[in-house]
Amino acid sequence: MKHVDKIYKQSEISWFTPVELFKPWYAHGIAEAIMRTANLSVPLKIYEIGGGSGTCAKGVMDYIMLNAPERVYNNMTYISVEISPSLAEIQKETVGQVSSHSSKFRVECRDAADRAGWGNVVQQPCWVIMLE
């Protein structure tokens, strides 16, 4: 609890998600679960619905960069579906702190609940992350 108390006292934000409170470990746990169960012979494709500040995306991509075979990281795609234009920009900034992540990451600024935004069905494995 001391860790959580310290984070709240150092910030003007009144509510944090677990991925923010326990960064980078929370996102690393998600990435580890993906790595354990993904078919790594096909390009890794991850969607995050409502990516917030980009903390989860950056943490997942950091973990994969450091722990997966190089080809997995180099061929991966991480797509954030974010309805808020301001959060979409923050996500790009957060993920862009690691320059090699930028070419693998994009934000689609739209409503994830709108079926039309998803386009045609593509028969390719993917992961979907939906946090608080």
Average pLDDT, the chain: 92
26-45 pLDDT per residue, tens: 999 999 999 999 999 999 99
CA–CA separation, 66 and 63 (whole Å): 5
Identity of the amino acid at 86: S
- The CATH architecture one would assign to domain 2-6+17-113+123-130 is 3-Layer(aba) Sandwich (3.40)
Identity of the amino acid at 130: M
Locate the domains of the chain by residue range: 2-6+17-113+123-130
84-93 average pLDDT score: 97
The neighbour count for residue 17, using CB atoms within 10 Å, is: 15
64 pLDDT tier (thresholds 50, 70, 90): very high
102-114 average pLDDT score: 97
CA–CA separation, 28 and 64 (whole Å): 8
Sorted by sequence, the CB contacts under 8 Å of residue 98 that are 6+ apart come out as 58, 61, 62, 65
Pairing of strands 45-49, 105-109: unpaired
